């Protein structure tokens, strides 16, 4: 049985790869400012004083500083009106040294998040929220300006998969702190980790072309966009989901598995084809009384079992997660390069 | 062997179903004008005097008349400037009794088709070209205002699949007249037949939920959007394409096959699971010296063989093809209903 073999999968170290990417970005930013005297700018807009949002935003701002991206900090009061917030977005759209705009979610209940996000100029939509970006992503021959990123979207990812998967249990996480899903009723259409997934594959030397890829989960934020990207990369793609009668039967055939169902350790070692590449996008908190936090994070894949069968596997945490901020920075850099090229 | 059985697949008569739909539309149009004094309006814009375009446009205008939709005819000279054409589109966007806008393709070489099409207001984008519509199509929880339709897009479909499938031979057709693909270098991003495919399934009483669906071809105009729709309808969807090493192995497993590869009779009876529903979107002209035209039209499926194995199969011509004008009319009607509801 697979789980009894001595095989050890190569563990894809998302943290290390993300750091490599950040270093590359820092190098490019240096080059840009030397050659053109321009520094990429990311505007990070935060409304109110939610602790988790604050911690995200400071994390993102730190990350910008680390690579030399100028972060433009916009802190608005909890009671800011939607109109004023949108006016601020328009102002940032028009600001030439801002190349990326990030509006930290969730926004207060009196604000329509979808409306606000759709006001972000597509050129500066570094999170890839914009329907037009998703649309372009879906269409061959039209490259989206950005592929979706942003860690916070894991929230919507969980919510989305909960909605998709009905009975699926799924704890909403912000960064690595579990929160109650009730806190998040919003359902922003966006994608996440997608760029990170593909980057992890390519940086691990895993070719996609002609491979059988199975995407587990069909959320707007992971399943759909990642399946479209794999298709663009010439994989034969199957999307399985909560309505698939026998998911194992598909997963067992896959050379590449993207697990994005939001269900803790649903994918067993016996479901994995020996040598397959397993990218685990799931992040679920399960009880663990041995921890003082009382929980630990696990993916949608049984990591221990997967290690004995798969060719490559991403850990949770430390796999896809760390890639997202790196992708956000990369999108901001690309936005600046795009602007300079104009 | 399947091909030796006496089984007879139910043949899905697209012509008859399309006529039923047209009758339903005519009924609804009558109702709208009686109850609200409003008549749906479709603006059909044609530039120049291409014979094939003219024949399409007159076909569409006749179809409108038949169901009581007012068709607003805009005939522009071959040498119209792009700006003037766009100005006309904007004018139609602003015209309240126009609920659908159709710009007949191809446009003269001095005009950027993509640009022109993207100027059509999304509410009136009855062909579903608009990236925003495709984007919404790709995103659960966001219904596109319209699903793509329009027969002319078969051109782009063929071109697209030719591009996808490299060596695939594919004759470009306008209506049922074969043209040389060289005549069409444009590659508008749009989808086609998609709405018709789903409609044919549902009107034939074929349930999609939980079924294994295989889409053959990944074009923007059929493969991608139809796979997204099937996924929305809870099928487990696999997209195979020209880079799939062993397409049969996937197709043999399918409960529902959508053939959109643009390759004449590539899908053999032996590739089809007994009882499967086969929707053939392909339209290919092959030599037939027994016809005075010297050719006949065939689909991507070997129809004779498929009849002996499949549960349902669409003929070519007379399957998906006739549905598209019906869908165009339906989208125009829906646009009018949408406008009245405002």
Q: Are residue A294 and residue A329 in the same domain, yes or no? A: no
Q: Given B137, B138, B220, which is nearest A140 (Cβ)?
A: B220
Cα atoms found within 13 Å of the Cα of residue A111, Cβ hemisphere only: 26
pLDDT band at residue A331 under the 50/70/90 scheme: confident
Using CA coordinates, name the residue in chain B closest to A239. B237
Q: Are residue B257 and residue B204 in the same domain, yes or no? A: yes
Domain that residue A45 falls in: 35-147+323-341
Q: Is A165 inside a domain boundary?
A: no
Q: Enumerate the residues of chain A whose CB falls inside 8 A of the CB of residue B237.
A: 238-239
The CA distance from B140 to the nearest CA of chain A, in Å, is 6
E strand or H helix at A74: strand A70-76
Q: Given A135, A160, A244, which is nearest B236 (Cβ)?
A: A244
The CA distance from B212 to the nearest CA of chain A, in Å, is 8
CA angle A44, A137, B324 (to 5 degrees): 135
User: Domain holding A329: CATH number?
Assistant: 3.40.50.10860
pLDDT of residue A193: 61
In angstroms, the first-to-last Cα distance of chain B is 58
Using CA coordinates, name the residue in chain B closest to A242. B234
> What are the catalytic residues of B?
60, 104, 127
Q: Are residue A230 and residue A304 in the same domain, yes or no? A: yes
pLDDT band at residue B56 under the 50/70/90 scheme: confident
- Which of B122, B150, B124 is CA-nearest to residue B134? B122
pLDDT of residue A277: 98
Subunit contact A236:B234, Cβ cutoff 8 A: no
Q: What is the pLDDT averaged over residues B18-37?
A: 96
Helix (H, G, I), strand (E, B) or coil at A1: coil
Q: Is A153 inside a domain boundary?
A: no
Subunit contact B241:A219, Cβ cutoff 8 A: no
Q: Are residue A51 and residue A81 in the same domain, yes or no? A: yes
pLDDT of residue B183: 26
Q: Is B3 exposed, middle or buried (0-12, 13-18, 19+ CB in 10 A)?
A: middle
pLDDT of residue A152: 28
Q: Are residue B197 and residue B306 in the same domain, yes or no? A: yes
The rounded percent of chain A whose pLDDT value lies above 90 is 58
The CA distance from A75 to the nearest CA of chain B, in Å, is 30
Q: Does residue A289 carry a pLDDT above 50? A: yes
pLDDT in tens, A123-176: 888 876 544 444 444 443 333 444 343 322 332 332 222 222 222 222 222 222
ipTM of the complex: 0.76
Q: Is A29 inside a domain boundary?
A: no
User: Domain holding A259: CATH number?
Assistant: 3.40.50.720
Q: What is the pLDDT averaged over residues B230-249?
A: 95
Q: Enumerate the residues of chain B whose CB falls inside 8 A of the CB of residue A141.
A: 187, 189, 220
- Cα B204 from Cα A9, distance rounded (Å): 48
Subunit contact B236:A243, Cβ cutoff 8 A: yes
Q: Does residue B218 carry a pLDDT above 70? A: yes
Q: Enumerate the residues of chain A whose CB falls inside 8 A of the CB of residue B209.
A: 243
Q: Are residue B199 and residue B307 in the same domain, yes or no? A: yes
pLDDT in tens, A104-115: 888 999 999 878
Q: What is the pLDDT averaged over residues B45-56?
A: 90
Out of A41-45, A80-84, A141-145, pick the least confident.
Answer: A141-145
Report yes or no on whether pTM surpasses 0.95: no
* Peptide bond just before A317 cis, omega within 30 deg: yes
pLDDT in tens, B242-287: 999 999 999 999 999 999 999 999 999 999 999 999 999 998 989 9
Q: Are residue B310 and residue B337 in the same domain, yes or no? A: no
Subunit contact A135:B140, Cβ cutoff 8 A: no
pLDDT of residue B312: 98
Task: Find out whether A267 and A306 touch, Cβ atoms under 8 Å.
Answer: yes
Disruptive mutation site among A115, A140, A153, A232 for chain B (greatest number of B CBs within 10 Å): A140
Q: Is A172 inside a domain boundary?
A: no
Q: What is the pLDDT averaged over residues B41-52?
A: 93
Task: Find out whether A209 and A233 touch, Cβ atoms under 8 Å.
Answer: yes
Q: What is the pLDDT averaged over residues A222-228?
A: 83
Q: Does residue A183 carry a pLDDT above 90? A: no
Got the DSSP string for A148-201?
---GGGHHHHHHHHHHHHTT----EEETTEEE-GGG---------SHHHHHHHH
Q: Are residue A207 and residue A264 in the same domain, yes or no? A: yes
Neighbours of A13 (CB within 10 A): 18
Q: Are residue A315 and residue A328 in the same domain, yes or no? A: no
Using CA coordinates, name the residue in chain B closest to A228. B224
Q: Chain B residues with CB-CB distance to A under 8 A?
A: 130-142, 160, 164, 187, 189, 209-210, 218-220, 224-225, 228, 231, 234, 236-241, 243-245, 250
- Mean residue pLDDT across chain A: 81
- Mean residue pLDDT across chain B: 81
Subunit contact B209:A139, Cβ cutoff 8 A: no
Q: Are residue B292 and residue B208 in the same domain, yes or no? A: yes
- More confident site: B334 or B91: B91
Q: Does residue B192 carry a pLDDT above 50? A: no
Q: Is B84 inside a domain boundary?
A: yes
Task: Count the domains in chain A.
Answer: 2
Q: What is the pLDDT averaged over residues B200-223?
A: 92
Subunit contact A210:B137, Cβ cutoff 8 A: no
Q: Are residue B245 and residue B299 in the same domain, yes or no? A: yes
Subunit contact B134:A138, Cβ cutoff 8 A: yes
- Cα B273 from Cα B213, distance rounded (Å): 12
pLDDT of residue B160: 29
Q: Enumerate the residues of chain B whose CB falls inside 8 A of the CB of residue A210.
A: 243-245
Q: Is A6 inside a domain boundary?
A: no
The rounded percent of chain B whose pLDDT value lies above 70 is 79
pLDDT of residue A5: 61
Task: Find out whether A157 and A174 touch, Cβ atoms under 8 Å.
Answer: no
Q: Enumerate the residues of chain A whose CB falls inside 8 A of the CB of residue B189.
A: 139-142
- Which of B333, B25, B18, B67 is CA-nearest to residue B204? B18
Q: Are residue B92 and residue B64 in the same domain, yes or no? A: yes
pLDDT of residue B48: 94
In angstroms, the first-to-last Cα distance of chain A is 58
- More confident site: A78 or B147: A78
CA angle A193, A198, A202 (to 5 degrees): 145
> What are the catalytic residues of A?
60, 104, 127
Q: Enumerate the residues of chain B whose CB falls inside 8 A of the CB of residue A138.
A: 134-135, 137-138, 220, 224-225, 228
pLDDT band at residue A35 under the 50/70/90 scheme: very high
């Amino acid at each position: 049985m697979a789980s009894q073999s001595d095989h050890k999968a190569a563990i894809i170290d998302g943290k290390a790869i993300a750091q490599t990417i950040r270093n590359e970005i820092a190098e490019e930013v240096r080059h840009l400012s030397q050659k053109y005297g321009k520094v990429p700018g990311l505007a990070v807009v935060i409304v109110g004083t939610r602790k988790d949002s604050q911690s995200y935003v400071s994390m993102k701002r730190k990350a910008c500083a680390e690579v030399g991206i100028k972060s433009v900090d916009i802190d608005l009061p909890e009671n800011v009106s939607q109109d004023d917030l949108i006016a601020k977005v328009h102002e940032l759209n028009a600001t030439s040294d801002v190349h990326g705009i990030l509006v930290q979610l969730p926004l207060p209940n009196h604000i329509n998040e979808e409306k606000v996000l759709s006001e972000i100029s597509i050129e500066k939509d570094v999170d890839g929220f914009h329907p037009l970006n998703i649309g372009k992503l879906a269409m061959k021959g039209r490259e989206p300006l950005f592929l979706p990123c942003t860690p916070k979207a894991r929230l919507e990812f969980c919510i989305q998969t909960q909605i998709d998967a009905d009975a699926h249990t799924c704890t909403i996480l912000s960064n690595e702190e579990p929160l109650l899903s009730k806190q998040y009723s919003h359902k922003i259409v966006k994608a996440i980790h997608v760029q990170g997934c593909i980057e992890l594959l390519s940086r691990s030397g895993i070719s996609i072309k002609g491979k059988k890829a199975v995407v587990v989960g069909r959320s707007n934020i992971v399943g759909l966009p990642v399946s479209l990207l794999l298709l663009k990369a010439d994989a034969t793609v199957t999307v399985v989901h909560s309505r698939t009668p026998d998911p194992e039967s598909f997963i067992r055939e896959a050379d590449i598995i993207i697990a994005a169902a939001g269900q803790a350790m649903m994918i067993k070692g016996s479901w994995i084809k020996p040598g397959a590449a397993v990218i685990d996008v799931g992040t679920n908190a399960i009880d663990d009384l041995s921890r003082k936090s009382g929980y630990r994070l696990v993916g949608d894949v049984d990591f221990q079992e997967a290690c004995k069968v798969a060719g490559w596997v991403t850990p949770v945490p430390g796999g896809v997660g760390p890639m997202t901020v790196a992708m956000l920075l990369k999108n901001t850099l690309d936005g600046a390069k795009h602007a300079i090229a104009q």
